[in-house]
């Protein structure tokens, strides 16, 4: 029997402290690195907070100055501020806002009318036109009707300035522009406090990184971290940049303290290290089991099917929801290759093509629908979202699909569509019911004429002597009146009959004229005249003629009812057709009481109505019809009183 060698245990005991020392040194280095990183992160966080404060301070003063310039513009608009008053107001504004370098009043052509302070040669006022650096902003502010900011530009003396242009209007007529001029250097000098300058170098830069102005109280020995924040206003790529001053580091002190601490704990560390390693292993195993059980429970509770495939298209994983969806078990599906058992045999080619697109990384990003079958042969619609499957090493290992059964949703959407069509037809029937007296009057005229012409012909036949040619004019007129009555009946029949929407080319002007013909008598009975002002050229749109007539009847009837409420209507209800780019815009302008502000947001919602007997579905149905035709329905206040309801439709290319 071999004797026990005590050196084996001693060698281990001698080696263990060396290993422990190496580990301590490594951990010490990591600790110091973490401390250093923490210090840098705190320094960066403080930098970000301070520069955000500076940016917000500058933003506040620029916005405040813009508002004060806008107030000056409002005073000019009211006529309460003359030329001398403008100089006095500008002088007061500059005195209270040191960051404003100059205030200039320009006329509608961009020429300088007044400025404070006044200087020789007008160094900021280049000639108006495309050559002036501020001219594009001048044009922009004039067109949008509100303040706009220029980018930075140089003026004589190599000063960098930027301007805010505040337009002045009177009765919608552009009078001129109040311009506030800000010098970059003055802005930083006024808005960057001393305590920020003691810690950072603050710079104002343009979009190209060129320094426009800088403020600092200490020379930079070594550049430290910096942070940039966009300045908006004025925008135009301008930003505030702050750079940290490097201070003396405490790395040596921290190193000595850490070394002393490490030497003091080295003896206990070796024994604790082993114990900690064992406990960590046990804790990790327990955590792994807990995590696995949690994820398994979560996967089993999902209603969304999950399916994983490798790069060759082989199924590597399916969750219980997917198995319930298709009817096959995980053992049946894992390892299966195309064609899959849940594919439809009749759609095998199209399904295989989509399968190849997914493997090639060309799957639609918004998902795609496809039809599958269950094990019992039942078909269902599935919505699939594909995403890359990445392994722990960061490599693309396959594709993970989320599968949703949307069969019931599709069925509900189809049911909702049929209900919407039924509701539209019901609305048309209600409209015809409300217009019954108008239709009766329209039919009464041709029927009365037919009766009169028939009686005349009979009387002529009873005469002792008559010629057949004498009956021809009366019979001709009788036939024309019969055709007129038939057209009225046919038009009503087309309007109320149940049919699927059919998009076909139709004349928008003719649709409007036919709709007005329906309701013109009712308008005259209520004392409202209808005036049509279409463009000279016709507009052809792809639409369902009956649905568009329903929209026009609803909008025109609403306008007639609004104008006939007080019984003093004088001005007509105006219908116009105009062109806006590739859109035809129909506007129905009434002179009624208008739409209250509190009703504007709910006007197009279902069951909202301002009428005592209204259902609140008319405008909602109109909006649905217009949106079905890829158009838009909205309303505007009529400048002369009343409301203007508008809808736009895409025109058909010639």
| 16 Cβ contact list (under 8 Å, min separation 6) | 270
pLDDT, residue 457, reads 73
Class (C level, CATH) for 60-183: alpha beta
* 239-245, strands of its sheet edge to edge: 211-215, 200-205, 239-245, 223-230
Backbone φ/ψ region at 396: left (φ over 0), alpha (ψ -120 to 50), beta: beta
pLDDT digits (tens, 9 = 90+) for 153-181: 888 765 788 899 999 888 888 888 999 99
Least confident window among 182-191, 194-203, 215-224, 481-490: 481-490
- HSE-CB at 265 with a 13 A cutoff on CA atoms is 14
Cα angle, residue 475 at apex, residues 473 and 479 outer, rounded to 5°: 115
What is the percent of the chain with per-residue pLDDT over 90, rounded to a whole number?
Answer: 4
pLDDT at 111 over 80: yes
- How far apart are the C-alpha atoms of 521 and 528, rounded to whole Å? 10
Give pLDDT, residue 121. Answer: 46
Q: 3-state class of 486 per DSSP?
A: helix
Residues facing 168 on adjacent strands = 176
User: Can you list the alpha helix ranges (DSSP code H) found in 124-250?
Assistant: 135-144, 184-191, 194-199
Least Cα distance to 472 among 449, 456, 448 occurs for 456
User: Distance between the two ends of the chain, CA-based, in angstroms?
Assistant: 108
pLDDT band at 151 (very low <50, low <70, confident <90, very high): confident
What is the chain's mean pLDDT, rounded?
Answer: 76
The closest of 174, 160, 169 to 234, measured between CA atoms, is 160
What pLDDT is recorded for position 167? 92
- pLDDT of res. 585: 92
Q: What mean pLDDT comes out for the span 406-411?
A: 75
Residues of the chain with CATH 3.30.450.20: 60-183, 301-405
pLDDT of 647: 93
Q: Is 266 exposed, middle or buried (0-12, 13-18, 19+ CB in 10 A)?
A: middle
Residues of the chain within CATH 3.30.565.10 domain(s) are 503-654
Structure tokens at 531: 């005036």
Helices and strands in the chain, H and E counts: 15, 22
| Highest mean pLDDT, choosing among 6-15, 182-191, 608-617 | 182-191
Q: What is the pLDDT of residue 213?
A: 85
Region 397-415 average pLDDT: 78
Quote the CA–CA distance of 151 and 166 in Å, as a whole number: 15
Q: Pseudo-torsion of CA 345, 346, 347, 353, nearest 10°?
A: 70
Instruction: Output the DSSP codes for 278-320.
Output: HHHHHHHHHHHHHHHHHHHHHHHH-SSEEEEEETTS-EEEE-H
Q: Scanning the structure block, which residue is given the tokens 């009183």?
A: 641
| CA–CA separation, 195 and 46 (whole Å) | 13
Assess whether pLDDT exceeds 90 at residue 347.
Answer: no
| The pLDDT of residue 586 | 92
Q: Which residue has the higher pLDDT, 568 or 308?
A: 308
Query: Does the pLDDT value for residue 4 go beyond 70?
Result: no
In the numeric block, which tokens belong to residue 96?
């209270």
> Per the structure block, which two tokens stand in for 492?
């009503």
Q: Average pLDDT for residues 519-543, to the nearest whole number?
A: 80
Residue 59: its H or E element? helix 6-78
Pairwise pLDDT comparison (334 vs 424), residue with the higher score: 334
Q: In what order do the strands lie in the sheet with 379-390?
A: 315-318, 305-310, 396-405, 379-390, 368-373
CB-based contacts of 549, cutoff 8 Å, min separation 6: 495, 511, 514, 515, 518
CA 15: distance to chain centroid? 68
Model pLDDT, residue 9: 47
210 vs 436, which has greater pLDDT? 210
Long-range contacts of 145-152 (CB under 8 A, 24+ apart): 145/169, 147/66, 147/69, 147/70, 149/233, 149/234, 149/235, 149/236, 150/234, 150/236, 151/206, 151/207, 151/234, 151/236, 151/237, 151/238, 152/184, 152/206, 152/212, 152/236, 152/238
DSSP 8-state assignment for residue 526? T
Percent of the chain scored above 70 by pLDDT?
A: 69
301-405: in CATH 3.30.450.20: yes
Averaged pLDDT for residues 515-542: 80
pLDDT band for 268, please (50, 70, 90 cuts): low
Residues 6+ positions from 78 with CB-CB distance below 8 Å: none
At 384 the three-state DSSP class reads strand
Residue 489 pLDDT exceeds 70: no
What are the CA-CA distances from residue 619 to residues 4, 79, 427, 444, 647 (Å)?
Answer: 101, 44, 11, 32, 12
503-654 has which CATH code?
3.30.565.10
Residue 646 in this model has a pLDDT that exceeds 70: yes
DSSP state, residue 226: E
pLDDT category at 44 given cuts 50, 70, 90 is confident
The confidence band for 251, taking pLDDT boundaries of 50, 70 and 90, is low
């Amino acid at each position: 029997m071999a004797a026990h060698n005590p050196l084996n245990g001693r060698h281990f005991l001698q080696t263990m402290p060396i290993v422990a020392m190496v580990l301590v040194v490594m951990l010490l280095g990591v600790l110091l690195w973490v401390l250093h990183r923490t210090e840098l992160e705190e320094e960066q966080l403080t930098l970000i907070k301070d520069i955000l404060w500076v940016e917000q301070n500058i933003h506040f003063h620029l916005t405040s100055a813009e508002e004060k310039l806008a107030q000056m513009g409002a005073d000019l608009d009211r006529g309460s501020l003359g030329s001398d008053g403008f100089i006095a107001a500008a002088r007061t504004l500059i005195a209270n806002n040191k960051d404003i370098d100059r205030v200039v009043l320009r006329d509608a052509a961009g020429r300088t009318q007044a400025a404070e302070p006044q200087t020789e040669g007008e160094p900021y006022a280049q000639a108006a036109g495309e050559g002036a650096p501020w001219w594009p902003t001048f044009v922009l502010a004039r067109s949008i009707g509100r303040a706009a900011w220029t980018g930075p530009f140089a003026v004589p003396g190599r000063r960098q300035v930027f301007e805010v242009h505040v337009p002045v209007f009177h009765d919608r007529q552009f009078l001129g522009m109040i311009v506030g001029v800000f010098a970059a250097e003055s802005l930083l000098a006024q808005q960057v406090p001393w305590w920020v300058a003691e810690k950072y170098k603050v710079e104002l830069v343009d979009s190209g990184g060129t320094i426009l102005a800088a403020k600092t109280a200490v020379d930079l020995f070594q550049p430290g971290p910096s942070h940039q924040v966009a300045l908006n206003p004025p925008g135009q790529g301008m930003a505030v940049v702050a750079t940290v001053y490097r201070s003396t580091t405490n790395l040596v002190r921290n190193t000595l303290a850490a070394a002393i601490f490490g030497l003091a704990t080295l003896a206990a560390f070796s024994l604790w290290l082993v114990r900690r390693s064992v406990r960590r292993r046990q804790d990790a195993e327990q955590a792994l089991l807990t995590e696995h059980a949690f994820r398994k429970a979560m996967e089993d509770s999902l209603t969304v099917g999950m399916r994983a495939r490798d790069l060759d298209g082989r199924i590597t994983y399916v969750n219980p929801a997917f198995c319930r969806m298709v009817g096959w078990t995980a053992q049946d599906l894992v390892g299966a290759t195309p064609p899959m058992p849940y594919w439809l045999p009749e759609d095998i080619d199209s399904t295989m093509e989509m399968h190849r697109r997914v493997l090639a990384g060309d799957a639609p990003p918004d998902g795609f629908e496809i039809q599958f079958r269950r094990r019992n042969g039942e078909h269902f619609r599935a919505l699939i979202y594909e995403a890359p499957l990445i392994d722990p090493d960061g490599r693309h290992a396959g594709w993970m699909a989320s599968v949703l059964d949307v069969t019931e949703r599709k069925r509900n959407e189809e049911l909702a569509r049929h209900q919407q069509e039924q509701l539209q037809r019901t609305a048309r029937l209600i409209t015809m019911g409300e217009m019954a007296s108008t239709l009766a009057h329209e039919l009464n005229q041709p029927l009365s004429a037919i009766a009169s012409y028939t009686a005349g012909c009979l009387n002529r036949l009873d005469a002792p002597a008559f010629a057949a040619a004498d009956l021809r004019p009366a019979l001709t007129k009788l036939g024309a009146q019969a055709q007129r009555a038939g057209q009225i009946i046919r038009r009503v029949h087309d309007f109320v009959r149940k049919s699927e929407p059919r998009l076909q080319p139709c004349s928008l002007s003719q649709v409007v004229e036919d709709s007005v013909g329906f309701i013109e008598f009712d308008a005259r009975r209520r004392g409202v005249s209808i005036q049509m002002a279409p463009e000279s050229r016709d507009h052809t749109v792809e639409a369902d003629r009956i649905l568009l007539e329903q929209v026009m009847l609803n909008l025109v009837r609403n306008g007639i009812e609004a104008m006939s409420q007080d019984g003093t209507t004088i001005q007509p209800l105006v219908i116009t057709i105009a062109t806006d780019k590739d859109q035809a815009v129909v506007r129905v302008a009434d002179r009624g009481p208008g739409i209250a502000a509190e009703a504007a947001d709910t006007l197009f919602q279902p069951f909202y109505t301002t009428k005592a007997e209204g259902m609140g579905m008319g405008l909602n149905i109109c909006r649905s019809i217009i949106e079905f035709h890829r158009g838009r329905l909205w309303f505007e206040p009529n400048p002369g009183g009343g409301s203007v309801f508008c809808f736009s439709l895409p025109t058909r290319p010639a």
